[in-house]
A and B are shown apart, each in its own frame.
Chain A
Amino acid sequence: DAGVIQSPRHEVTEMGQEVTLRCKPISGHDYLFWYRQTMMRGLELLIYFNNNVPIDDSGMPEDRFSAKMPNASFSTLKIQPSEPRDSAVYFCASSPTRTYGYTFGSGTRLTVV
């Protein structure tokens, strides 16, 4: 199994540009999570899906952030327009059921200049 696959690994963009982060969860995992990690705020849950349906998006910072999961094997997190304060490492994670731990991807390091 290739694990949770995130792309790109690194993204540098200018303020105001649209950024799209991608995630391929492990096949058969029903839960998908998007997290953001910074030194100041630690690990923050942005949104999670169960069977492709968004369950809790209360962690999404503002309307500039949106996430979709069109099918069981793909999810995107979009930021439009991006701002320097969005700079962080964004992780995607998946799990088969709620009694299992998460498998995390390697993350996307986003830098907005």
Chain B
Amino acid sequence: AQSVTQLDSQVPVFEEAPVELRCNYSSSVSVYLFWYVQYPNQGLQLLLKYLSGSTLVKGINGFEAEFNKSQTSFHLRKPSVHISDTAEYFCAGRGNAGKSTFGDGTTLTVKP
């Protein structure tokens, strides 16, 4: 069975600092990986996705993620965060069955 583990439930960081949100996945079959962001009182919004090819994928709002097959990781990074990046972030994996498995979420809090 496919599982997705987000290693940090909360990540506090100061404005303009870099951030990394960690995600590990397990799968025995081909897998597509995604990061979503959820702002308060809103639905989840797709940030970026990895399907195949280049292991570094770029998404919206300056975020990027690196697929690492040997470490089964798909960490999300941003070199300089803004107050407006404060939100909950979800890592997800989608296998051949069609449905995604979501991690438990990481709350990113950007402090001034």
Contact = CB atoms under 8 A, between A and B. Distances in A.
Interface of A: 4, 31, 33, 42-43, 45, 48, 50, 55-56, 91, 93, 98-107
The B contact surface, by secondary structure, is: strand
Interface string B24-58: 00000000101010000011111001010000000
Contact of B43 (A31, A50, A104): A104
A4 B96 CA distance: 23
Contacts of A93: 43-44
Interface residues of B, number: 22
Interface of B: 32, 34, 36, 42-46, 49, 51, 90, 92, 94-100, 102, 104-105
A91 B90 CA distance: 15
Tell which of B43, B44, B97, B105 has the most Cβ of chain A within 10 Å.
B43
28 contacts: A31-B98, A33-B99, A43-B102, A43-B105, A50-B98, A56-B97, A91-B43, A91-B44, A93-B44, A98-B32, A98-B95, A98-B97, A98-B98, A99-B32, A99-B51, A101-B34, A101-B36, A101-B46, A101-B49, A101-B92, A102-B46, A103-B46, A104-B36, A104-B43, A104-B44, A104-B45, A105-B43, A107-B43
Contacts of A103: 46
The A contact surface, by secondary structure, is: strand
The 3 closest A-B pairs by CB, nearest first: A104-B43, A101-B46, A104-B44
A50 B99 CA distance: 10
Contacts of B32: 98-99
Nearest to B101: A45
B99 to A, nearest CB: 5
Contacts of B105: 42-43
Tell which of B51, B90, B100, B104 has the most Cβ of chain A within 10 Å.
B100
Contact of B99 (A43, A45, A104): A45
Contacts of A43: 90, 102, 105
